[in-house]
C-alpha cells in the first residue's frame, strides 16, 4: 500500500509542477515505513501495543497520534528547511526518547537520497532522480522567537459537522493537541523562513 501511495503522491507532484515552480513531497509515509522496518530489524513486532510504530496511530488505528503527528511535523520541517530537527522542542511529547526517535527518523528519511526525492533546499527540480545535495545539518535556529499568537489547538469550525464530530477532519477536541503541535511547528518554520528571506 505504501508503494501505491508513494506513486500516487509522485503523480500529483508531477501534475502540480510547472517549469520554474516545482512541487515537492514531504515523505511522511516513507518515514512511517522506516519506523516499521527498524522495528522489524530490531526483532520487535511493529504491531505490538508497546512498539513505537503502533504508537504512531491513534486508538482508531487510522489517524495519527501525538507521536505520529510530531513525526510528520519533523518530516515537514526537514523537507522545507534542509536542517535536522534534532534538538528542537518536543512540543506535546513528554518522553524525550520519543522526541529524539521521531526527530532522527524524520532526518534519516528526508536525507536518504536513495528514495529519489528532491527538496526546495536541494537546488534541483523534482526529477525523480536521487538528490545528491548535501543537507544542512547545522544546529536549529536560535533566533528570537516569533511573537505571533500561538495556535491553541482548538478545534476548527470549518468543514461542517462531519469534521467536528471526528469525520476525518482531525479537528476534534481529542485531536486538538496533535493539530496544535503541527500548527505550532509550521508557524515556527514560517517565521524562520521569513527571517531568512528578509536576510537574503
- The percent of residues in the chain predicted with pLDDT above 90, rounded, is 50
CB 145 within 8 A of CB 189: no
Mean per-residue pLDDT of the chain: 75
Beta-bridge mates of residue 83:
136
Among 35-44, 104-113, 155-164, 174-183, where is mean pLDDT lowest?
Answer: 155-164
What is the helix, strand, coil percentage profile of the chain, to 5? 50, 5, 50
CB 75 within 8 A of CB 160: no
Q: What is the pLDDT of residues 150-180, one digit of tens each?
A: 444 433 333 333 333 334 444 333 334 444 4
Amino acid at each position: 500500500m505504501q508503494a501505491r501511495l508513494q506513486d500516487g503522491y509522485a503523480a500529483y507532484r508531477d501534475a502540480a509542477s510547472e517549469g520554474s515552480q516545482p512541487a515537492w513531497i514531504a515523505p511522511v509515509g516513507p518515514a512511517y515505513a522506516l519506523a516499521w522496518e527498524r522495528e522489524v530489524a530490531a526483532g520487535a513486532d511493529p504491531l505490538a501495543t508497546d512498539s513505537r510504530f503502533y504508537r504512531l496511530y491513534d486508538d482508531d488505528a487510522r489517524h495519527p497520534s501525538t507521536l505520529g503527528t510530531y513525526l510528520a511535523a519533523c518530516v515537514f520541517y526537514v523537507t522545507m528547511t534542509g536542517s535536522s530537527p534534532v534538538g528542537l522542542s518536543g512540543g506535546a511529547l513528554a518522553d524525550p526518547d520519543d522526541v529524539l526517535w521521531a526527530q532522527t527518523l524524520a532526518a534519516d528519511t528526508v536525507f536518504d537520497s536513495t528514495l529519489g526525492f528532491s527538496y526546495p533546499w536541494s537546488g534541483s527540480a523534482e526529477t525523480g532522480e536521487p538528490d545528491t545535495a548535501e543537507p544542512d545539518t547545522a544546529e536549529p535556529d536560535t533566533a528570537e522567537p516569533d511573537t505571533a499568537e500561538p495556535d491553541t489547538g482548538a478545534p476548527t469550525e470549518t468543514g461542517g459537522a462531519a469534521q467536528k464530530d471526528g469525520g476525518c477532519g482531525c479537528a476534534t477536541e481529542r485531536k486538538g493537541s496533535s493539530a496544535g503541535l503541527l500548527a505550532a511547528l509550521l508557524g515556527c518554520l514560517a517565521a524562520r523562513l521569513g527571517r531568512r528571506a528578509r536576510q537574503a
